[in-house]
Every structure is written in structure tokens, then in C-alpha cells.
Chains A and B, each alone.
Chain A
Amino acid sequence: MTNEYDPTSLEGVPESGRERLEQNREGLYTSDLSVNEFLLVTQAGFDPVGLVVGSSIFHTGFQVAGPTASQEMTVLSEAMYSARHLAMTRMEEEADQLDADGIVGVRLDIGRYEWGPNMAEFIAIGTAVKHRDGVLHRAPNGRPFQSDLSGQEFWTLLRTGHRPVGMVMGSCVYHVGRRGPLKTLGQTGRNVELPNFTQALYDARELAMQRMQTEAKELGAEGIVGVSLTERTHGWGSHVIEFFALGTAIIRSEDADGSEIEPPVPVLDLNDRR
């Protein structure tokens, strides 16, 4: 749905946001980096250019599954995915307006409000950075990269001769079917694996991971690091579960001279662990 990307578009960025970005373009930067992160990002040759944010309030649709059916809730999967995608694209547009090379430290949050029980706000926040000497670090498709790496991780990744190209994710909302009463009776008393539950949960995770992988392939990535798999029931009841895989796709840097990090030196730390 967001395949046609217009870099000059500010669709979805509110009026006040445009003013804020204008300020940032004039030289003032904002960031949510900690001091350590700031120092490392600066040392890696990047300057923060501004805090960028994207948000999307989504009304998740409605879908019914039979009580014993194990199936993907495609409407919900789509909603969860599109909402995050919209939020991330808006954040990306803001970064683009700032001429940034990419965004580090992206956080994806889901906010719920009392005034909208079926609504959820999907928020993406990160710090846009730009290479100081103008070496382009954007993703192969010309868009600013996104990554959920902290400043430290970003620095380390660059040192290994890789760079992030984008945050990739996969979402799968699955309805885990209940067991029929006859089936339940038949297995009383012994330890048995429940193949329908196992398969449903297993398949749902694999689907989420596969979707993430497909995204990375489309980006032309070399691999994905830092994958986190989370499972949540967003108030849908215990049998409808969202499986969400999130990671950072990386590629080898063009100017990589086989750079490696120095061999680590073990150090006995004499600080108290307090």
C-alpha cells in the first residue's frame, strides 16, 4: 500500500511538524540519544539532525474464526502490519525532509487510549543522522535507512564493515483453535503433546519470521541481526495471539576494507557491581 514512495511528500506530517523540521534544517538538532550514544555516533562520522517521529492511529478490523479453527486472522495481521508500516514511513518522510542518511534508535510503541477501545496508536520514534562528509549511507532504494540499533551498536556494526539498510518486520495474528470436547476426553490421563496447539503456535512464528525475511530480501540485505520475537494478545482474548518479528537488515559497506574489530582484551573490572 505504500509502495509508491514520493520523497518530497509530506503526507501525514502535520503543520507543526513541518515547522519543527524547518527549524531542524536550519541547524538546531534534537535527539533522544544518550551522551554515550551521541559520542559514538559522532565518532562514527555521523551528526544527528533531528528527532523524527511517525504515528498512525488505526482502527483494527473485525474477524471471526470458528472456535476450533486454527487459522491466521488475515484482517488483523494486515492491520497490525500496515499500521506499523505507516508510522515508519511517516518517520522516514520526516527524516527525508531533513536530508538524513538514516534513523538510529527507532522505537516502535503501541499506545491505547480510553476514548478508543478498538483503536491503537502506532508510534515510531528515532533520531535521524547524516554523514558528516556527505558519504551517502542510504538504503539501496534511495530511502533513509532505519534501525533499532542503539548508538553503541551502530558504531560497532560500522566497524565490522557492515551498515544497516532498514528495519524489517513480520507480523502474524493467529487464532489458535480450541480443542473439541471429544478430543479432550480421549486423551485424559496421560502426558500428550497437543499437535494442533503446537502446530498453530509454531506456524504462526514461522510465518512472522518468513515475512520479515521476505522484507529483508526485497531490501537487498545481506542478513538480519538482532531479531526479537514477541508475542502479545492485544486484548483479543487468550486464543488470538500476535507474533511479531523485528530485526535490522544489514549489508556490507561499499568502502569496507575488510575491517574487523580489534581482538577483544579481557579485563578484570575492579568497579563494584552496584
Chain B
Amino acid sequence: MGFRRHDGDAEPEAADVDPGLSERAHDRLEGLSGAGAIFTSGLSVNEFALLRGLGPEPLAQVMGASVVRTGWQYLPALQPGIASYVTAGFGATATLRQDRWGNAYGETSRAQIRSYLWATPVVCRLETISDAWSLARRRAVARLTDEATEVGADAVVGVSLQRLDHDLGRRTVEYVVNGTAVRSSTPNERAEPVLTGLSVQDYFKLLRAGQEPVGLVATTVATFASPSRDTRIRRARRFRSNQELTELSRAFRLARDSIREDLRGQIARAGGVGVVGVEISQSIRRGKLSLASALRSPEQQGWGRGRFGVPYYVSGRMEAERHGWVITMHAAGTAIRPIAGGGSAPAPRTETRLRL
């Protein structure tokens, strides 16, 4: 047992290292890559039949999985106000930032927090949660790619990204990626197998139309929407009338816009001109998040000595919590580009028929 590390892996820096491909996976794929070996595939019979007509042969069903625990998610810190409890020249000013007029900027003030809780609506991206999903997906896809490379594939079709909920503990997210590795009859020069989330039927139609897939694009964005307290009170008073929850609308819009931006960047990096077969799924839950401390850097956080040598402690969060909604939106699709020198397909024949 145990994960084999990649040859090219850097020396592990922290507790979190990409462990590479599982030994067990290696054992299984060994039986599939030799001459006269059997193949396995998650293809349906129709896909299998169509694939044979296209040329590529199926090699193995490949898979990748990753379980990630999300870190602490705080709301973005407020701009720090002028420090009222620490002044320049006394105590631990070295831990505070000083502007050119000699004002030491410290922690978010109480007045700021009060106004933040009562009067400021919050709509923001939650980077830690988004990153956790991305980390899990990246690792899972990398393992799938490793498995495909191991059997000598040059493409993986029908890649499905699944998010599983095994209830293994709080704040754990799991990604499982499945697909069928195939090798085309003509050797091609690609170093890495091309992943597509398309079924073989769709792949066939694309090729016929003179387009080819260049890779899988996927992203996850989490956003947070929280009305301020006075908005809540105002809404509670007018509970009989229809009201728009503007923060929620904005948060959804932010999530969609972010997803669009992320996908656009990924498509460009993959060398595609567009994306097809995008599937968007979203989940929403009520959540409670704390405000992050304005003193963000590691040397600012922890124990310090304030005025007259009185010790103080700066943790990563403030004593301010916002109730709201956490929206998590996932999107995955296949980036495509036109085949060089490929023509477009004739228009499909139209016929009217009665389906039995």
C-alpha cells in the first residue's frame, strides 16, 4: 500500500503533498497494459460500437479520487481603522503598520464592526471553500491522467466528475473522476492524454463537424450572501409583501460571473476556442461565517505586547459573525477547437417520423 510519488515531485514542504498514484491502481493497470490483455470500459454498448467505427480502441476504465478538508473560511477583512489602543512610540508598534503621518493601523475598530454588522450587506467569494474543491478536483484529475498514461492512452472519453458525500467528517469534500482511456490507431504526438467529458456519441458528432476536444475544463466557485441586520429587521416588518433578496441575487450573479471568467481562462490556457457540454450544478445552504482579522500576516498574528507591556492576542478572526447563505456552484465542460484543415459536416438530413 501507500502512494507512489511522482518522479518529478518536489521535496515535500508541508503536511500536504500530492501523493501521486496508488500502488493498488498500479497493480490493476499492469494487467491491462500488456499485449493480449483484456480491456475494461465504462462505455455503454452503443458507445463501444461507435468507438470501433471511429478507430480508437478502449484500454481501461481509469479513475482518480481525492478527499480534501476545507480550511477555515473567514469573510474578507475590513480596511483597518486608526489604532486606538496602541500608539506609535509605545509598546509593540513593530507589529503594526505605520503610515507616513505616523498613524499606526491596527485591528478593525469596534465602530467599524458595528457598522459592518448593522448596515453593510456582504456579497463576496469564499476563496478557501472554492480552493478546497479545486484542490480535490485537480488531484483527482491528475490521478486519472496518471492512470491513463500508465496504460498508454492518448485520450480519455466520458470523463465524469462526481462529488460524493460520504459523511466522513465535517468539512470534507470528495471528488471522484471516472473515464475510459482509449488509444487511437494513429499514434499522435501528445505527451498527455486529452480528457473529454463527452460521450462517444457527442465526440463522434464533434469530429464530424470538424472540431476536436482539447481538454476538460471545470471550476467551482463559492459565494456568500448576507443581509445586514437593519435590512433583516426591515424585511421582517414587511413580511407580508413580496421582496427581492437583493444580496442573494447578487451572490448568484457573482458566482455565475466568476465561473464564466474561470472557464474562459481555462479554455484559453488549454488552447481551445470554446466549450461544449457545460454542466452547472449548484447547492445552497445557510451558513455562519466570522470576519477575518485585519492583521493578516503571520508576524502580526499571535501574542504581542501592547501599551505598558500589557500582552494582547491577535487571532485570525474577529468577534463578528454574519449569518447568510453559502452558494456553491460547480461547472464542468469540454474545451474544443476546430481541427486544422478539417471541413465542416453537411447539414443533417431532416425527416419526420413517428416515434413508437
Which chain B residues have a beta carbon within 8 Å of chain A's beta carbons? 1-3, 15-16, 18-19, 22, 24-25, 27-28, 31-32, 38-46, 48-50, 52-53, 58, 61, 63-72, 128, 131-132, 135-136, 139, 143, 164, 166-169, 172, 174, 176, 178, 204-205, 208, 316, 345, 348-356
A234 to chain B, nearest CB (A): 14
Encode A135-171 as 1/0 by CB contact (under 8 A) with B. 0000000000000010001101101100000000000
Report whether A210 and B174 are in contact in the complex, using a CB–CB cutoff of 8 Å.
Answer: no
* A contact residues around B349 at 8 Å (CB): 265-268
Known: A187-B15, A199-B22, A268-B349. A153 touches B46 (CB 8 A): yes
Stretch of A15-23, A76-84, A94-102, A224-232 with 4 or more beta carbons under 8 angstroms from chain B = A224-232
Residue A241 CB within 8 A of the other chain: yes
Known: A224-B39, A265-B349. 17 other contacts (CB 8 A): A188-B71, A189-B72, A191-B68, A191-B71, A198-B66, A201-B174, A203-B22, A213-B38, A223-B40, A223-B58, A224-B38, A224-B40, A227-B42, A261-B49, A267-B348, A267-B350, A267-B351
- Which residues of the other chain, A, contact B131 by a CB distance below 8 angstroms? 191
Q: Select which of A178, A191, A263 is within 8 A of B135 by beta carbon.
A: A191
CB distance from A261 to the nearest CB of B (A): 5
Find B65's partner among A198, A210, A223, A269 (CB 8 Å cutoff): A198
Surface stretch bound by B, among A85-93, A107-115, A214-222? A214-222
In the complex, what residues of B have CB within 8 A of residue A178's CB? 169
A192 near B71 with CB under 8 A, answer yes
Quick one: given A153-B45, A192-B71, are A201 and B65 in contact (CB under 8 Å)?
yes
What interface size band does chain A fall in?
Answer: 35 or more
Known A191-B69, A266-B348: A203·B24 in contact at CB below 8 Å = yes
Give every chain B residue within 8 A of A195 (Cβ-Cβ): 3, 19
Interfacial chain B residues near A221, Cβ < 8 Å: 38
Least CB distance from A173 to B in Å reads 14
Separation of A234 and B71 alpha carbons in the complex (Å): 31
**CB pairs A–B below 8 angstroms (17 shown):** A191-B131, A192-B16, A193-B16, A193-B68, A194-B68, A197-B174, A198-B19, A198-B65, A202-B25, A203-B24, A217-B38, A231-B164, A238-B168, A247-B40, A266-B208, A266-B348, A271-B355
Cβ-defined partner of A266 (8 Å) among B16, B68, B135, B205: B205
Residues from chain B with a CB closer than 8 A to the CB of A36 are 356
Bound form: Cα–Cα A224–B39 in Å: 6
Q: Does A52 contact B (CB under 8 A)?
A: no
| B25 lies within 8 A of A206 (CB) | yes
Q: Is the CB of B168 within 8 A of A202?
A: no
Query: Residue of A at shortest CB range from B72?
Result: A189
> Any chain B CB within 8 A of the CB of A125?
no
A176 interface residue, CB < 8 Å from B? yes
